[in-house]
Amino acid sequence: MRKLAAGNWKMNGTAAALAEAKALIDAQPNPACDMLLCPPATLLAAMAEMARGTALRIGAQDCHAAASGAHTGDLSAPMLADAGATHVILGHSERRADHGETDAQVAAKAKAAQAAGLIAIVCLGETESQRDAGATLAVIGAQLQGSVPAGSTAANLVIAYEPVWAIGTGRTPTQAQIAEVHAFLRARLTDLIGAEAATVRLLYGGSVKPGNAAEIFALPHVDGALVGGASLKAADFAPIVAALSAA
């Protein structure tokens, strides 16, 4: 299994930020892991063109479940693939919270992404109140079962565990908490898709930074990271890529 360092730029970045993608390519020209940036849609095609022929892959942050149609403001998976995307983030907690996305909607989007040849990065995570109530595994299990479409394989699916309370807060779960959830995900995913689950990459996300990346990547069943703020600058993201390459 080749591990994955993915960066989610969220609603950040104008054309000037393309220089950071170029700096990342220069800093990590041949990493021992897969390297991905998911910029806002306005930068996707330009970044994909810049990254052509390099180790950097480009992804999107969402897609519509339909291939085309009267959906003003939305982008379909075939459009993203045509623009140069290889991956798409789906079901991020910010989409679930801000747009009310359900597990069923996430599954439909993931199915559309996979049909268009994209790798679906399906995000799962519990809130602080759910963690405090001892419901983490129940919440994660329900999200996984509801959000992963039939026919998913290690070639078209990545799972990202992002505890909502750790995203952008500087807080991270303990190593034991991360390990518990990732082991649970591997076992539950095996129930859902069978032996393929052994090589589906499980990413951790939530305040990953150069200072804690190595210890997180040393945990069992952690096959990479989905990084937010620390992916915006090559100087921050390149060391995370290096830590994963060394893991």
The three state secondary structure string of the chain is CCCEEEEECCCCCCHHHHHHHHHHHHHCCCCCCEEEEECCHHHHHHHHHHHCCCCEEEEECCCECCCCCCCCCCCEHHHHHHCCCCEEEECCHHHHHHHCCCHHHHHHHHHHHHHCCCEEEEEECCCHHHHHCCCHHHHHHHHHHHHCCCCCCCCCEEEEECCHHHCCCCCCCCHHHHHHHHHHHHHHHHHHHHHHHHHCEEEECCCCCCCCHHHHHCCCCCCEEEECHHHCCHHHHHHHHHHHHHC
| Residues designated as active site | 92, 162
